[in-house]
Amino acid sequence: EAQVTQNPRYLITVTGKKLTVTCSQNMNHEYMSWYRQDPGLGLRQIYYSMNVEVTDKGDVPEGYKVSRKEKRNFPLILESPSPNQTSLYFCASRRGDLYNEQFFGPGTRLTVL
């Protein structure tokens, strides 16, 4: 089944404790991205990657890191999480050519105390 998977789905952590949210897709998509969703703000892009070893900042990259060592994986790293990073996070992927929908993962609900 074609899908984007994220782990963990739910996470409660404390300020300053490094964490990684994994994202994997099995569709051989070139393009992957991370979004955060906050009430009343819609979804905002954190980082995106056009292909392996190619990443770039989105609209709200502060406090986050990403890497793209393999085509299928695009982990989101919070080196020192803070309470303002409490949010619902989505990973998404799509083919590199235009006019294609983005496939979203199921979301990761993160709470930073």
Residues lying near other proteins in the complex (CB under 8 A) are found at: 31, 33, 35, 40-45, 48, 50, 56, 58-59, 88, 90, 92, 98-99, 101-104, 106-107, 109
What is the smallest separation between the CB atom of 110 and other proteins, expressed in angstroms? 13
- In whole angstroms, what is the distance from residue 68 CA to residue 63 CA? 18
The nearer residue to other proteins, 64 or 90, going by C-beta atoms, is 90
Alpha carbon 76 to chain centroid distance? 5
- In whole angstroms, what is the distance from residue 93 CA to residue 59 CA? 17
The nearer residue to other proteins, 61 or 63, going by C-beta atoms, is 61
CB 89 within 8 A of CB 79: no
The nearer residue to other proteins, 16 or 28, going by C-beta atoms, is 28
What is the smallest separation between the CB atom of 81 and other proteins, expressed in angstroms? 20
Pairing of strands 4-7, 19-25: antiparallel
- In whole angstroms, what is the distance from residue 103 CA to residue 25 CA? 9
What is the smallest separation between the CB atom of 79 and other proteins, expressed in angstroms? 23
What is the smallest separation between the CB atom of 42 and other proteins, expressed in angstroms? 4
